[in-house]
Amino acid sequence: MNTIPRQGIKSILVIKLRNIGDVLLTTPAFKALKETFPHARITAVVPAGTEEMLTLNPNIDEIVTLKRGAGLKAEFEFIRRIRAGSYDIAINMTEGDRGVIIALLSGARYRIGIDPRGKGFLGKKHLLTHLVRYISDGRHRAVMDLDILKPLGIECTNPEVQLFTSQEDDRYVDRLLKENGIGDGDRIAVLHPTSRWLFKCWKDEAVAEVIDYLDSRGFRVVLTSGPDKKELERAGNILSLAKSSPLDLSGRLTLKRLAALYKRSSLFFGVDTAPMHMAAAEGTPVIALFGPSDSDIWGPFTKKRIIISRKNEFSCVPCNKDGCGGSKKSRCLDEINTREAIAAIEMLIGKE
């Protein structure tokens, strides 16, 4: 593979058309790019609704959001804006077709992408000037994403996932906690047991038991969830099963304010979902429950973590399916018991 010359690179376009957690995990790549090209303008293209994972990041100069189904006028305006960027390099960080087309439409001289190896539309690989063989070999996704920078001769030996909040968001969370009787000296444990993919969720009654245990250990427990109706219903059921009374912030916080909450917290307990990655990025100790997805690839990117899964016991894990037989329920998750969860909590926070 020919290395792209670094001289004269003034503008770089990075395309990541994936979900919230995936976008956050690209931040080590953005940092590596900015360190290599400190004077270049770096633009990120991400789906609308994920941009808060990148806003305020000093390694990114501009964020362009792409909203699906926005109509032809919005599509033409998006293309016009990309063309106006006069990019020297365009990098598509996913295997998808759309990112390759955006890279081509950008007019960039150098276009880097993942070798489709026969997948996607006919002739797809010919729209890219540099192909990267993307190998899923058990490394974390944040590390694998750095492979896409190889044509630039970039080697990142100490990747760090970064998430930034504003002072306004930090102050908002501080006020909210104080209004609910939680002070600066209180230990906060945040539980995020929901996901829009129900097959990633643990048993409601087990979550309620963990809430009660943390309450008995002197933590101020906060329950969070996404704003989706199914997630809110699940959070409500967990609250009805709990004997203690955690602070319920389900569906009430923006992504940035969730991150600000994690900055204040001593523990995050939850399932394989974007908030897990956010808590890890903020340096919060994380206990994560994994079912069908691969915890080696998608686990919290931090040393302060414990992952609970049946990966070493169930030959079918990770299956990456939506529950056993498409049932939206995962036996590998259901068979995790509260004793394991409590033992993990004690191991992570230490006995007093």
- Per DSSP, the three-state class of 95 is coil
Of 66, 63, 41, 36, which is closest to residue 52 (Cα–Cα)? 63
DSSP character for 341?
A: H
Give the residue carrying structure tokens 């329950």.
223
Q: Given this model, what pLDDT does residue 352 score? A: 43
Q: Given this model, what pLDDT does residue 350 score? A: 77
Residue 305, strand partner residues: 286
pLDDT band at residue 274 under the 50/70/90 scheme: very high
The domains found in the chain, sorted by start residue, are 11-152 (3.40.50.2000), 167-349 (3.40.50.2000)
pLDDT band at residue 138 under the 50/70/90 scheme: confident
Of 66, 58, 243, 48, which is closest to residue 160 (Cα–Cα)? 58
Tally of CB atoms within 10 A around 58: 10
Contact present, 33 and 16 (Cβ < 8 Å): no
In sequence order, which residues have a C-beta less than 8 Å from that of residue 341 and are 6 or more positions away?
A: 206, 210, 269, 287, 289, 308
Residue 287, strand partner residues: 269, 306
What is the per-residue pLDDT across 168-225, written as a single tens digit (0 to 9) for each?
A: 999 999 999 999 999 999 999 999 999 999 899 999 999 999 999 999 999 999 999 9
Q: With residue 287 as reference, give the H or E element that holds it.
A: strand 286-289
Contact present, 141 and 298 (Cβ < 8 Å): yes
Contact present, 201 and 225 (Cβ < 8 Å): no
User: Alpha helices, DSSP H only, in 282-327?
Assistant: 295-298
What is the per-residue pLDDT across 19-69, written as a single tens digit (0 to 9) for each?
A: 999 999 999 999 999 999 999 999 999 999 999 999 999 999 999 999 988
Contact present, 97 and 121 (Cβ < 8 Å): yes
Q: Given this model, what pLDDT does residue 312 score? A: 85
171, two tokens: 């102050």
Prediction pTM value: 0.95
- pLDDT of residue 229 exceeding 70, the answer is yes
